[in-house]
Amino acid sequence: MVSKTMEELASLCKRRGFIFQSNDIYGGVKGLYDYGPMGVELKNNLKQSWWKSMIYERDDIEGLDATILTAPDVLKHSGHEDTFSDPLVDCKSCKSRWTVDQLDNQSCPNCKSKDLTDPRPFNLMFKTSIGPVDDDSAFAYLRPETAQQIFTNFKNVLDSTNRVLPFGIAQIGKAFRNEITPRNFIFRVREFEQMELEFFVEPGLDDEWHKYWVDSRFNWWIDQGIDKKRLELHEVQKDELSHYSKATVDIMYTFPHGKEELEGIANRTDFDLGSHTKNQGDFNISSKVMKNKKSTTKLAVQNLANKNWFIPYVIEPSAGVERGVLALLNEAYKVDEKNSRTVLALKPHLSPIKAAVIPLKRNNEQLVEYAKFIKSKLQKLGLGRIALENSGNIGKNYRRHDEIGTPLCITVDFETLEDKTVTVRDRDTMKQQRVGPEELIKYYQKYFE
C-alpha cells in the first residue's frame, strides 16, 4: 500500500525529520525544501546507490564533480539561453501572471478575463555575478542541469583516463530552475539535485545504446524498491523534444498527485559536444549544432582505423534526486492497521538508520555502556548510521523507528549483562528473537546482502 495523499506523506516527512519547508521561520520560500536528519541520510543513500551502480559496479564510467556557477558562454552554446524557457501570459485585467498550460479555456484562472497578453518566453535560469563588480561582464548562471560541465570536461577526462568509446561520465549535484509554479511538495522545486550520466558512443550505435540505458534505468528503479506497476515508459513526441534531443524516453511514476516524469533518457546526439567545439568545419556533424569560435577545444575523438576525427554521440539518463526520494517514500509508506502503526518499508540500503540500539532502562550505566559497545561494533561495518536510543521507552522507540524505516531494533536488557544476548526486532515482521554477539553481526549483515 502506498500513501493515500501527498499531505499524508508531507506530514510524516516533517514529523520525523525528513523534509522541512526552507526558511520557514520567516514564512518559507516556495519551491525550496531542506532535508532534516533522516532526509539527508535517505538522500545520501539514494545517491550512493546510483553512484555504486554507475561507477563501482561497471568499468566504463568515470565520476566528476564540477562547479555550479557556469560561464554564460557555456549556456549560450548549449542552447539554454535561447530555448530554456516557459511561455508566460499576463492578465491585463487583474495583472496576474500564468503559464500557458495553466489557462482556463484561454481565460485567466483568477478573474476569468480573456484580455491576456501574447505568450512571452520566460527563461528559467538563475543569474548571479562573480567578483566584486556587479555588471554585465561579471554575470554567471547557476547551472540548470549538471550535464553541461560534463561536456566541457569531456577532453580533460578523456586525456587523464585514456578512455576509448563507449564510455561515460557521471555526476551528481545541484541544479537550479526558476520554475514559475513550483508544486506538489518536492516534485517540482527551484533547487534540486540531479544524477546524470553522459554516455559517449560512436554515431550509428546511439539508438542501440539508448535502448540499453532505458532498460537499465527502468530496472534500477525496481531494484530500489519501486513496484513495476507504478512505473511506465513514455516516448516523448517529436514536437515536445528538447532542442538537443533526437529521441527521449521518460520513466514515469505514479506519484500521489498523478503520473509524471521521474527520469528522462535522451539521445542528445552530437549536439552538445559539437556546439562546444571550435572550428566545426573539420567535422561531419549534425546541422543542429551551433557555430562556436570562442571555445578553445575540439571535443572529438579519433577513429583509430581511418585516423578521422569525429564527435561522439551521447546518451543521457538524467534522474532527479528529489523525485526519486518522493517516489521511494511513497512506495515505502504503509499503514499497518492490525498493529496500529505506520511503517516505512524502505529497502535496508536506503533506510536512514540501519539499526537502533536501545538500552531497556534509560541512563542505566551498564546497559548504556553495552549498547554503545554494540553500536560502535556495527558502525564499524560501514553500512550506514547506527543510532543509540537512550530514552527508555521501548514501545515508543519501536514506533519511531518503524516510521523512519529502520530495519532492525536491538534491545539491551539485564540478561544481556549476564550472557551478552540481545533481543532483535525486525521492522517488517515485528518478529523478536534472542541472539548472541556473533549471531548479531551475521543477522545484521543479512539485511544488506
Our finding on whether 46 is near ligand ATP (CB under 6 A) is no
What's the min distance (Å) between Cβ of 81 and ligand ATP?
Answer: 16
Our finding on whether 264 is near ligand ATP (CB under 6 A) is yes
Select from 320, 348, 359, 405 the one that contacts ligand ATP (CB under 6 A): 320
CB 77 within 8 A of CB 295: yes
Stretch that binds ligand ATP, among 55-63, 152-160, 256-264, 350-358 (CB under 6 A): 256-264
What's the min distance (Å) between Cβ of 331 and ligand ATP?
Answer: 16
Of 76 and 341, the one with the shorter C-beta distance to ligand ATP is 76
Would strands 313-320 and 191-201 be described as parallel, antiparallel, or unpaired?
Answer: antiparallel
Select from 185, 192, 310, 333 the one that contacts ligand ATP (CB under 6 A): 192
Stretch that binds ligand ATP, among 34-42, 313-321, 327-335, 356-364 (CB under 6 A): 313-321
- The residue sitting closest to ligand ATP, measured at its beta carbon, is 320
Q: How many of the other CB atoms lie within 10 Å of CB of 288?
A: 15
Of 311 and 319, the one with the shorter C-beta distance to ligand ATP is 319
Q: Report which of 89, 84, 85, 112 is spatially closest to residue 100, judged by C-alpha positions.
A: 89
What's the min distance (Å) between Cβ of 251 and ligand ATP?
Answer: 8
Hey, CA dihedral for 147, 149, 154, 157, is it positive or negative?
negative
Could you give the 3-state DSSP secondary structure of residue 26?
A: helix
Our finding on whether 322 is near ligand ATP (CB under 6 A) is yes
Length of the chain, in residues: 449
Our finding on whether 261 is near ligand ATP (CB under 6 A) is yes
Q: What are the C-alpha distances in Å from 252 to residues 30, 184, 237, 434?
A: 24, 15, 15, 44
Our finding on whether 272 is near ligand ATP (CB under 6 A) is no
Our finding on whether 188 is near ligand ATP (CB under 6 A) is yes
Hey, CA dihedral for 412, 413, 414, 416, is it positive or negative?
negative
CB neighbour list of residue 170: distance below 8 Å, 6 or more residues apart: 51, 54, 55, 61, 62, 63, 64, 195, 196, 197, 198
Stretch that binds ligand ATP, among 60-68, 106-114, 115-123, 188-196 (CB under 6 A): 188-196
What's the min distance (Å) between Cβ of 122 and ligand ATP?
Answer: 14
Would strands 61-64 and 167-176 be described as parallel, antiparallel, or unpaired?
Answer: parallel
Distance, in Å, from the CA atom of 133 to the CA atom of 156, rounded to the nearest integer, reads 31
Which residue ranges make up the site for ligand ATP (CB under 6 A)?
A: 145, 177, 179, 188-189, 192, 194, 261-264, 318-320, 322-323
